[in-house]
Structure 1
Amino acid sequence: MAEEMFSSYITSAKMVFDFTAKHLFGYDPEKAKDKNMSERFTYFLQGLMSFPLNIPGTAFHKCLENQKMVLRLMKDLIDERRAMPEKHRGNFIDQMIDGIKTESFLSDDFVMYVMFGILFASFETIASTLTLAIMFLIEHPMVVKEQEVVNESLRMASVVPGFLRRAIQDIHISGYTIPKGCTILVASSALQLNPDT
């Protein structure tokens, strides 16, 4: 059986892009017209450090082409949200579109470039960090064993005596009622050491 190769950076980058874009802008790669947007963004980033020669076939030219496609997607998202205000989700893009109505400095282009900048800031740093973490774990597998010991120690006994919560409604448990508004101390070590939980 041949081992299948994959790029941890490309895979991490795709995952981070899809997650960030979904939560900030409501972008769904499964429903999008262009399902390769995360790949386009990845290739845009890879071309940023190339020699700035804008000739078809060069890495820089591909970088600029991918940037145009990503910006076009963001413009389409803005237009789509504006056309369907009833689908207001309250996420970042909706807040920015609402802001355009009241703030004179906001424009579609400004919103589009802010969206692009946020994706860039979150995407590159997290994807690179995940890739380095995977590489270091592969090179030093004993770290995983050491971390398992730490995790099991924390599971078995916590240095935190407990945490406080306020009951938001009456809670009925084992014949007792904890009234709404009461403060409850949850002893985490009691839960962790209980064989029934």
Structure 2
Amino acid sequence: MAASIAVALLTAILTPLIVYWLTTRTRKPLPAKLPPGSLGLPVIGQSLGLLRAMRSNTGERWVRDWVDRYGPVSKLSLFGAPTVFVTGPAANKLVFGSDALAPKQPRCLPLILGRRNILELVGDDYRRVRGAMMQFLKPDMLRRYVGTIDAEVTRHLDAQWAGRGAVTVLPLMKLLTFDIIATLLFGLERGAVREGLAVAFADMLEGMWSVPLDLPFTAFRKSLRASARARRVLEATLREKRARLERGESSPADDLVSCLASLRAEGSGKQLLTDEEIVDNAMVVLVAGHDTSSVLMTFMIRHLAGDPATLAAMVQEHEEIAKNKADGEALTWEDLHSMRFTWRVALETLRMIPPIFGSFRRALEDIEFDGYVIPKGWQVFWASSVTHMDPGVFKDPEKFDPSRFECQAPPYSFVAFGGGQRLCAGIEFARVETLVTMYHLVRRFRWRLCCKENTFVRDPMPSPLHGLPIELEHIGMAPPCKTDC
């Protein structure tokens, strides 16, 4: 057994080296206008340096140092492939708006989430799937569900925060976002099915960013098996939703799965999305909606613990809304539009600590950009923090200043939600759940960070030390207990 595992590991290591050596012997000459930089050692390149930096929370510094050395367009080698690293608003426009670039996710992601997910699609397929998802995620639809999200947030705070002297924020925020997705997007009632999906999802996340080595006892194998369990739940949910639609027992507006199952292509009347596409993109929604929103709200809580002026302004904004509402009355869509300052705080948090560090694209053809050529087949890598922390784009970028979002940021300068045709379909959904959650949190609690060391790491999402334990003060109640790290 041990010998077979060793042989498999050796094969996994040597195969890329052999392939690289063979392909470099026959590769056509590279263009003369390649960007400056260095490809480093074969296969290894700069991968280990970047991974070490991300795990030690110096990833942003690593990419800024690289840009300082080689400029806003440079070449390097990441994860076994020659890569062009691009930064700045013009580069972001290229990344998010060019049909000459295709998405290129880590190999493990399509194997776990499914090959027909929106992160993998290009051209007409991408526009078709995104358009279908927007039928449910557009503002006109989401305004109907503010009360549902309000009820989920209130239930969560009553069950997980009220009466506690201390809590750990990140896992609770992940629990909350999962519950909102399960209720609103999947239409799953609380019970065994929903609990089974939660367990499968948690196991799946452990191997999402692992080496795609399908061997016993690896994180990737565990994630694949968990993905299969999650898919079975979603496939059964899809069958049930479709049957209820056909019997007239439900509406396409009930949840995202029902909406996608009901859509038909114009002219032919055929199902707009295949069952595989519906399930694959439900998996993406589960991962993206769970991680990004929970990280955003966690870091908002982290920042507000040390910024009483910003917290006071948020409280004042929310109290103005609350004074016109009866006790226990749910928030409305109009209430959310009054939370302008709170959303600016959220945007500034995303600017300084974007959940997504960066991602890759693949050049489908030779591309000329900024005087250089990006060869066909090469990776294109972008990192949002370089633009977000550029003093030429955002004045005093190290300063937390929500007022910078009183006016719309220049095009393609703020890219926490992507941009152009690749703008996140769930941006409005994230706004609603963030505003509703922060409204209830700041009106019910005050908090203090337990850990003296206020740091975070990326793996690959930013995660604060120990999940951000905080002491809670319940407004109008007894003081919190004393804890420390």
- Normalising to structure 1: TM-score of the pair? 0.63
Identify the residue that residue 186 of structure 2 maps to in structure 1. 25
Change in 2 beyond 3 A, CA 1:43/1:88: same
Identify the residue that residue 178 of structure 1 maps to in structure 2. none
Partner AA of 2:233 in structure 1: L
Verify: 1:9 aligned to 2:9, yes or no: no
Verify: 1:126 aligned to 2:293, yes or no: yes
Q: 1:147 aligns with which of 291, 310, 313?
A: 310
1:6-44 deviations in Å (ceiling 9; x for gaps):
65333222211220221112122x234251423432332
Partner AA of 2:232 in structure 1: R
1: CA distance, partners of 2:262 / 2:184:
17
Instruction: Check conservation: 1:18, 1:27, Cα contact below 8 A.
Output: no
Can you give the 5+ residue segments of structure 1 that lack an aligned partner in the other structure?
159-164, 166-197
1:93-152 deviations in Å (ceiling 9; x for gaps):
222222268335522111111211222221221122233334444xxx331x32343245
Q: CA RMSD in A?
A: 3.2
1: CA distance, partners of 2:290 / 2:316:
33
- Normalising to structure 2: TM-score of the pair? 0.28
Change in 2 beyond 3 A, CA 1:78/1:118: same
2: CA distance, partners of 1:106 / 1:156:
44
Equivalences for residues 12-161 of structure 1 within 5 A: 12-28=173-189, 30-85=190-245, 86-89=248-251, 90=253, 91-99=255-263, 102-104=269-271, 106-137=273-304, 141-143=305-307, 145-151=308-314, 153-154=316-317
1: CA distance, partners of 2:287 / 2:210:
17
Which has the larger share of helix? 1
Instruction: Check conservation: 2:188, 2:194, Cα contact below 8 A.
Output: no
2: CA distance, partners of 1:117 / 1:157:
37
Change in 2 beyond 3 A, CA 1:132/1:38: farther
Of 109-118 and 87-96, deviating more is 87-96
- Which of the pair has the greater relative contact order for Cα pairs under 8 Å at 6+ separation? 2
Instruction: Check conservation: 1:14, 1:38, Cα contact below 8 A.
Output: no
Can you give the 5+ residue segments of structure 2 that lack an aligned partner in the other structure?
1-163, 322-333, 335-485
Q: 1:64, CA displacement in angstroms?
A: 0.9
Instruction: Check conservation: 2:207, 2:222, Cα contact below 8 A.
Output: yes
2: CA distance, partners of 1:48 / 1:117:
12
Instruction: Check conservation: 1:14, 1:39, Cα contact below 8 A.
Output: no
Of 17-26 and 7-16, deviating more is 7-16
